[in-house]
Chain A
């Protein structure tokens, strides 16, 4: 079955550590996205990529980094520069322009300990 897989489901980070969240899709989608979800704030866009080897900052990119070396994969690194990283992170993919066919992963809950 085609889909989008995020791992791990739960992740704990110590202060000052970088952590990487995995996102893999087998939908043959060109575009991929990372959103952060906090209670009462909806979904805020961190980074997005329309094509391999290219990505753009979203609304809250500071303290995060991404790569898009393969069409199927769009990992997100939460760096030590992100001062408040505890949140639910959602990865999504879509066919491309227009927002059609957006499919979300099941999310990764990151907690700073």
Chain B
């Protein structure tokens, strides 16, 4: 079945630096790739997503890139701030996947040090 691998599992950066989280997926039919941010004790919140007909998408300090050939996609956060500290999840789904299920990566715990 579909599998999504996410790296690294933990990431520590200094405030103002950039952070990059990478994911690979196994199902070549996957065509939707969202990223979620989860703060402690809360449910994940969608922060950005990309569809397979687009190679890159930006929203202020965050961007996502997609390489369909290599089946991987990445989250880039620039000018990191302490409030960016959270667990980030990538996910993938296919229109042909029953129920529209999202398959999630294992998560990356990002720590931004002031």
Contacts and interface: CB of A to CB of B under 8 A. Distances in A.
Contacts of A97: 95, 97, 99-100
Given A42-B104, A45-B101, A99 B91 contact: yes
Q: Identify which of B6, B43, B93, B107 gathers the most chain A CB atoms within 10 Å of its CB.
A: B43
Interface stretch (A61-69, A77-85, A102-110): A102-110
A33 interface: yes
A50 B36 CA distance: 22
**Residues of B in contact with A, size category:** 20 to 34
A94 interface: yes
B105 A94 contact: no
A102 B100 CA distance: 9
18 contacts: A6-B43, A31-B99, A35-B104, A40-B9, A42-B106, A50-B98, A92-B43, A96-B100, A97-B95, A97-B97, A98-B93, A99-B34, A99-B101, A102-B102, A104-B44, A104-B45, A105-B43, A107-B41
Given A90-B43, A103-B46, 4 more contacts: A6-B43, A31-B100, A48-B99, A102-B102
Interface of A: 6, 31, 33, 35, 40-43, 45, 48, 50, 56, 58, 90, 92, 94-100, 102-107, 109
